[in-house]
Amino acid sequence: MSARRLAQARTRTAARRATASAAVVAGVATALGAACGSAPEPAAGPSFEVVEQTIPELQEAMASGRVTSRELVEHYLARIDAYDQRGPSLNAMISLNPAAVDEADARDQERASGDSRGPLHGVPVVVKDNYDMVGLPTTAGSVALADWYPPDDAYQVARLKAAGAVIIGKTNMHELAYGIETISSLGGQTRNPYDPTRNPGGSSGGTGAAVAASFAAAGMGSDTCGSIRIPSFHHALVGLRGTRGLSSRDGIIPLALTQDMGGPLTRSVTDLALVLDATVGPDPADTITELGVGHIPTTYTDFLETGALEGARIGTLEFQLGTTPPDQPVRRVVQEALDAMEAAGATVVPLEIPELPGLLQGASLERQEFKTQFAEYLRAPGTPVQSIDEILDTGLYHEALEARYRRSAAAPGLDDPEYLEVVARRDVVRRNVLQVMADEQIDAIAYPTIRRTARPIGEPQPGTNCVLASVAGLPAIVVPAGYAADGMPVGLELLGDAWGEGALIRLAYSYEQLTGHRRPPHTTPPLDAPRRMSEEWVATGADHVPPVETDATAQVRLTWDAATGELGYDARVYGVLDSEVLFMHLHRARAGDIGPVTVMLSRAGDARRSGTVVLTRSQRIAFEAGELYFDAHTRDHLTGLVRAQIGAPRRHDAP
């Protein structure tokens, strides 16, 4: 922690802390009540839809008077109220800013007087809960820090405020940033809005879920080994890890300072460039930012050019693309992305970098650095704990973190020869990568940030490619690349030369504009959009493939909630004995085709069954495309007696 922040910490008064404590609630439903009374309704007047709106679109709407910053805050808070603890229950937010509406009013007054601070003026954003912010606790998802109110803003938070952004809340994260599934003792498990049964990546998973679900225009995360890039991959977002020294780490709880970077997650490359402009640059409190002097352009928006793929040379490394069978669904999407780049005029160049896989093994330094650097942050007056050992001794942590915490607590100091050897090895990685890129005239190395789509909650998330950019200190950007066979997002990561953020933005923007892969999650539609349907189908033998001569029929009534992904069903077979019925299923196939079972509705001897299932992302896509059919199987007709093709749901507000 900087001397500036330590001095300010000593002047913090108990009265301010008590006032802030009363206003802030960890847990969104309660926080909404404390900050804004009852759950906010969108402002009266012409409807303005915030879903998927870019920062320039929001600015144009505010400049034209179609919406105010206050109304934007209210719209986003209404979405948080509808979807964070209800509906799909994303659990992305850990606290809300009770001053957000007042701050938005102030930005509106400035605009009315002709004073705009720039592209972020009045734009609502969220920040990860390891960024210090006055008036809100900085918990990093840890119950041990639930009552820690820092004395000042993290440098990048202060820069956002100076640019006119309105921070509406802080997001959940993998506890103390030490993991990639986003589970914490204070915030619980965040869910992926593309499939709430799956994890959102991490450690900035709360920011990823919040931005994907349009809880704000943009969000801030931190990346030690993939913690911006992995959630971007899993949420069809754009995320950037900059060159080491691009942005200040002051006021961000450290995990490993040789790798830590703060930065934006956005829904478009344009938005990322705008947030980057507002947050990067030198900070006397973080001397590493001196490296960036002379390397930061006037604005990164100058790099928003199409056509950059023409003549570009894109390198690939076989071991990063994925070689095992479980890696292939993601690899196929990445290969399609590379094919699209080649079609746009790029050349894809397979690379070999001497000894790179071995050099990367064990090169990430969270285990060794965390204990020492976290303790340094906790030196600030008023912090409720002083070390990771104290957190372990008091049991104030989530059980999923215990093994990692204990490994860090037992790690030797930063003067240990093994640690120093790894630090030296990282320089070799950087030199080797840059040498090969120069020799082959490579503009960027492309690979999936992680070689598997988001895994179900409770399962480990394997396959990360986070280490290369993190240990080499080189910039890497993630851009949406499409969707795997299971319907989950896949991102393409592009790694560039030192201080090559602008060149990466140019490539990512060209690819984004060429392909347009970003799609919003189905579970968080516009609030005024019809979300429920309830319809009934009659299944007959004549509709079977092939047709069956029978007097039997079936009725199936489906109730669909787009926000939760819940499919309610009531299925009944008539004209045969219950004992004759073997199964009732939903199969996946278009009309006139035969396809596999995707949802089991009943077992043998059950001709009448009702219940509810939560559809997976891939099942949901098939359902909403009209590619499911109901089939009842009997002992005399094992391949199916009666069938009804389930049409694409016509949504309305079902009773």
Write out the catalytic residue numbers. Answer: 128, 203, 227
Q: Provide the residue type at 610 as one letter.
A: S
**Element housing 566 (H / E):** strand 566-574
Task: Yes or no: say if 45 and 325 are a contact pair by the CB < 8 Å rule.
Answer: no
Q: How far is CA 385 from the centre of its chain?
A: 29
**458 Cβ partners below 8 Å, 6+ apart?**
none
Six-digit token pair at 96?
Answer: 């809300």
Task: Yes or no: say if 535 and 646 are a contact pair by the CB < 8 Å rule.
Answer: no
Distance, in Å, from the CA atom of 488 to the CA atom of 498, rounded to the nearest integer, reads 31
Distance, in Å, from the CA atom of 241 to the CA atom of 264, rounded to the nearest integer, reads 8
3-state secondary structure of 310: coil
Number of H helices, E strands in the chain: 20, 21
Distance, in Å, from the CA atom of 3 to the CA atom of 113, rounded to the nearest integer, reads 37
Q: Provide the residue type at 423 as one letter.
A: V
**Nearest CA-CA partner of 311 in 273, 348, 258:** 348
Q: Provide the residue type at 123 as one letter.
A: V
Distance, in Å, from the CA atom of 405 to the CA atom of 398, rounded to the nearest integer, reads 10
Strand partners, 567: 560, 613
**Nearest CA-CA partner of 130 in 25, 36, 227:** 227
Distance, in Å, from the CA atom of 128 to the CA atom of 131, rounded to the nearest integer, reads 6
> In Å, what is the CA distance from 497 to each residue of 416, 442, 474, 511?
31, 9, 6, 19
Task: Yes or no: say if 491 and 518 are a contact pair by the CB < 8 Å rule.
Answer: no
